[in-house]
Structure 1
Amino acid sequence: MIATLRRLAIANLLLLLALSASAAQINTTLPKSVQQALSAHKLPGDALSLVVLPLTGPGVPTYFNADVPLNPASTMKLVTTYAALELLGPTHKWHTEFYADGPLQGGVLNGNLYLKGGGDPKLNMERLWLLMRDLRANGVREVRGDLVLDRSHFVQPHLPSFNDDGGDSNRPFLVEPDSLLINLKALRFIARAEPGKVQISIEPPIAGMSIDNQVQALPAGACPDWPDVRYNLVPQQSGYSMVVTGKLPAGCSAQSYIAPLDHQTYAAGAVRAIWQELGGSIRGQDRVGNVPRQAQLLVRASSPDMVEIIRDINKFSNNTMARQLFLSIGRQYRNGTDADDAQAAYRAVRQWMTRKGIDPRHLVMENGSGLSRTERISAREMAEMLKAAWHSPYAAEFIASMPLVAMDGTMRKRLRRTPLVGEAHIKTGTLNTVRAISGFSRDQNGDTWAVVAILNHARPWGASSILDQVLVDLYRQPKSSTTAQR
């Protein structure tokens, strides 16, 4: 009996020692330099959540405020893009098609022309032009019926509009997703001032849109950093007029990207403008409808594959493309219980994370882009997802989609005069009350870490420099014996 008790006492002691050793290998405090950076910006320590996990080498992980659900801003795009890589596949593509419901004889389509959107996140003007050239090459010249837009691919959610700073709601990064998204619905206006007059041009051309140029040409002078040129869309009996006002010195120019049209008007206007340039005509009206079952497929265009799409999303933090991707996941995994494709995507992503051994208890996804006040995730959940991605067969594709520090994307201007140039792939996130980074970074020993730092505060001014300090501190790991041998 005494021997048995001794063995139990020794076993318990060994267990306590093991637990103590394990705890000693986890850091639960912020690096001193990060604490100092927070203090310098008058921000409390609990505003920041930080998780740093060693993926190679002997490093000690850090967990600080790791299990607090926070708004991650655009770092949520990493969840959407990695989930899409695995749930839809790296070679997944989207398709856009033209159909006809009548006979084609001698270049004349005696029926309606249908443009069916497949949710392509990157259907730009060049690819639409090529698709319509293909339509022309297949013998279509004149359409006697209507131009019908099929926008039924997604079951669209009814989400509240989001405008973080209350500015112009027509800015391109606020464009909502659509089954037939063309050129991200963006218009580029260029104003060029010559002596006595100002020229206004628009790209791409949109059928039914005219320009009312009221910009005053000033005498030649210094070109302003913020030119006084304003745009106001005014509906007309047939189409729209863009009223352009302001002042511009001779020899100066101003360029603006805006998205004032709805998806239907933009798509129909772009199609008609291109078709006219190609020598074609459409006699009927523009309307929305579904492709009939008996309709004949005329031509089809395929998007770039998933790998290129997620690169555009993560490198440049493209909100609209991320939302298209999120809805694409939902459409693929939609079932009878889902009200819309956003709800289906959220369910599918949570189930996917659970299968990977990640507890998604804090995960809240509204649109998958981070452009939201309701989306949430903990730093631990994000870091565990990055760790899983490191071991994924698609790790290379996923990591390469993120901005390279001091080199490209949203990180191109940060940490330029540090040893971190090109040493980390980091996705950024920014809202009025959020600053965040998430991705993979190497230290001076050449070992790789997963790093997640999310700061939520009413006044996060200057907080990007705090997050940069996280990366600098991580890079300065103690020199290892392995490094010395190298």
Structure 2
Amino acid sequence: MTTGSMTARDRARRHPRYLPLVPLFLAVLCSLPLLAPAETVGTLNEDLTAILDDPALRAAHVGVAVDSLTTGRRIFGYNAGKLFVPASNMKLLTTAAALLALSPDFRWETRLLTDGTVTSGVLTGDIIVEGSGDPTISGYFHDGDVLHVFRRWAMRLKEQGVREIGGDLVIDNSAFPDQPYGKGWDVDPVNCFSAPRDAFTFNNNCIQLDMTPSGRTGDGAHFAMEPVTDYVRVTSGLICRKDAGPDVVNLEYTTPRALSVTGSIGSGTRTITRYVAVNHPAYFGGFVLRETLDAAGIVLKGDILCARNCPKTVDIGARKAKKEWTTVAVYRSPRLAEIIKVVNKLSNNLYAELLLLATGRAAGATGTEGSAAAALAALRRAGMDTSGVVMADGSGLSRHDLVTPDSVARLLRIMAQGPHARSFIDSLPVMSVDGTLGVRLKGSRAAERVRAKTGTMTHVRGLSGYVTTVKGETLVFSLFSNNHVATSAVDAATDRIILRLLDYSSSER
């Protein structure tokens, strides 16, 4: 997951190097068949079969599909039609469907509205934040400034002479049903990895909590929070040890806004950072917005109200129907083509979930189930066979998700041959360069020759994408392993397969 804070490395990830792989695709795409009849390639078949025959993998459920994008041939298959839990490889389907249904130029809009007038510095009415499911109200696209959007809204109100808001701050988060978590998720309430979904999302619905030991044995730690807010109250039982044993930090919510931190850390330990999901995310965003307004000299006299999943709720439809609302400010997200880089390169789960819901909303669907149906329909229209696909969410957090290596390989061919090839391919991590592949096979021949999406959960591994061979041929591959115990053996086998594919030649017959 990402948070509002952005390191120099994160900034670099936003501008990945443009690789020869993309022009190669664009040069050969339109004239190629999607798939020719399968052929067995002698040497490659023997080598990959030997890799998969590792004793550590024999009890696992493993599947592989490798196609040549250049010739359209299936060059290797192993359980390619079997079903697998894909983990974050599900994001390939989510981002592809969004590109097809929404276009690379799609942008979310979040509106700040008011129903009042300003008299002597007092806004005699409410302000409403109209959420649309935009995941980018954070620091990631704003040079690390978590409060960038909220500060601009405060500035806009001040330009209109507002020093006091007499009514309420109303968060309209009614665009999506109240489904904070997906079906089949292993939810950890404090883990930002599975942060709750909401139509009004701020800072990935998480806080960054930094813990620095005091330096004296028996004392506690110093805490810092980003954004700086009173929304989450930390109570600490964390102590400093003299010995150099392992650091143990336990986080638990005792109430929706009270976070208990216990455990022990070495007195010489450097700062420990945890990314903590918040409860009631729309209320969290409204709370920090009120703090931002207050810092700008604008006092909110009323309450913070939300349409749903909030300590205090309000009938948004009835509230809006009473008066005419005028727009104070509009925040427009970056283009979808930029946003899907966060989904695929950094494997951001919340972005993926909100992207799926946006795809559904554009088709008139609601909720995860309806949005998944809309996404699969978009993929079918593009030529993908979705009969072997179960899409329970957009991120791959659900163990109810199912795909086949065949279906993912076909999707990759479709996207490489379609009008959104550049946006899709550019969104994938580059081997040894960025994202979740930034340190993988570092210094090997695979560096910069592979663009692929990772998938990782307990007993689940996936890697699917594109590889350019040393002879310039482009291969599409999809590899999955489920129910394995030796994760390191699976990762090693996957790397060996990638390295072997680099040497593939169409003359191997």
TM-score (norm 2): 0.81
Q: What is the SS of the residue equivalent to 1:61? A: strand
Aligned-partner Cα distance in 2 for 1:29–1:146: 71
Whether the 8 Å contact between 1:425 and 1:439 is mirrored in structure 2 is yes
Letter in 2 for 1:325: L
CA 1:109–1:57: 2 relative to 1, 3 Å: same
Whether the 8 Å contact between 1:28 and 1:64 is mirrored in structure 2 is no
Quote the residue 2:345 is aligned against. Answer: 315
Quote the residue 2:99 is aligned against. Answer: 85
Unaligned ranges ≥5, structure 1: 1-21, 482-486
Unaligned ranges ≥5, structure 2: 1-35, 139-145, 308-315
Whether 2:227 is the aligned partner of 1:199: answer no
Whether 2:376 is the aligned partner of 1:342: answer no
Q: What is the SS of the residue equivalent to 2:422? A: helix
How far off its partner does 1:138 sit?
3.4
Letter in 2 for 1:471: I
CA 1:248–1:433: 2 relative to 1, 3 Å: closer
Q: What is the SS of the residue equivalent to 1:96? A: strand
Letter in 2 for 1:318: N
Whether 2:493 is the aligned partner of 1:466: answer yes
Q: Which one of 82, 90, 102 corresponds to residue 68 of structure 1?
A: 82
Whether the 8 Å contact between 2:278 and 2:284 is mirrored in structure 1 is no
Letter in 2 for 1:194: S
Alignment of 1:132-143 (within 5 A): 132-143=154-165
Q: What is the SS of the residue equivalent to 1:439? A: strand
How far off its partner does 1:429 sit?
0.6
Q: How many residues align?
A: 448
Whether 2:501 is the aligned partner of 1:477: answer no
Quote the residue 2:173 is aligned against. Answer: 151
Aligned-partner Cα distance in 2 for 1:58–1:284: 63
Percent identity over the alignment is 27
Mean CA deviation greater in 446-455 or 197-206: 197-206
Q: Which one of 349, 353, 357 corresponds to residue 327 of structure 1?
A: 357
CA 1:108–1:365: 2 relative to 1, 3 Å: same
Quote the residue 1:484 is aligned against. Answer: none
Q: What is the SS of the residue equivalent to 2:210? A: strand
Q: Deviations over 1:180-208 (max 9, x none)?
A: 01111111111223355632121112244
Letter in 2 for 1:82: A
Quote the residue 1:180 is aligned against. Answer: 200
Letter in 2 for 1:266: F
Quote the residue 2:124 is aligned against. Answer: 110
Quote the residue 1:292 is aligned against. Answer: 320
Q: Deviations over 1:328-377 (max 9, x none)?
A: 0011102xxx5x33233222223223222322111111112111111111
Whether the 8 Å contact between 1:90 and 1:306 is mirrored in structure 2 is yes
Whether 2:294 is the aligned partner of 1:276: answer yes
Q: What is the SS of the residue equivalent to 1:474? A: helix
Aligned-partner Cα distance in 2 for 1:34–1:169: 41
CA 1:66–1:400: 2 relative to 1, 3 Å: same
Aligned-partner Cα distance in 2 for 1:28–1:67: 21
Alignment of 1:31-430 (within 5 A): 31-44=45-58, 47-56=61-70, 61-124=75-138, 125=146, 126-157=148-179, 162-164=184-186, 168-196=188-216, 198-218=221-241, 227-235=247-255, 240-250=257-267, 252=269, 253-289=271-307, 290=316, 292-293=320-321, 294-334=324-364, 340-430=366-456
Q: CA RMSD in A?
A: 2.7
Letter in 2 for 1:212: T
Letter in 1 for 2:361: R
Whether the 8 Å contact between 1:156 and 1:342 is mirrored in structure 2 is no
Mean CA deviation greater in 97-106 or 324-333: 97-106
How far off its partner does 1:424 sit?
0.8
How far off its partner does 1:301 sit?
0.6
TM-score (norm 1): 0.84
Quote the residue 1:7 is aligned against. Answer: none
How far off its partner does 1:473 sit?
1.4
Q: What is the SS of the residue equivalent to 2:57? A: coil
Q: Deviations over 1:449-481 (max 9, x none)?
A: 111111222535221222222211111113879
Whether 2:474 is the aligned partner of 1:442: answer no
Q: What is the SS of the residue equivalent to 2:200? A: coil
Aligned-partner Cα distance in 1 for 2:194–2:447: 31
Letter in 2 for 1:279: G
Aligned-partner Cα distance in 1 for 2:84–2:441: 25
Aligned-partner Cα distance in 2 for 1:233–1:374: 28
How far off its partner does 1:279 sit?
1.8
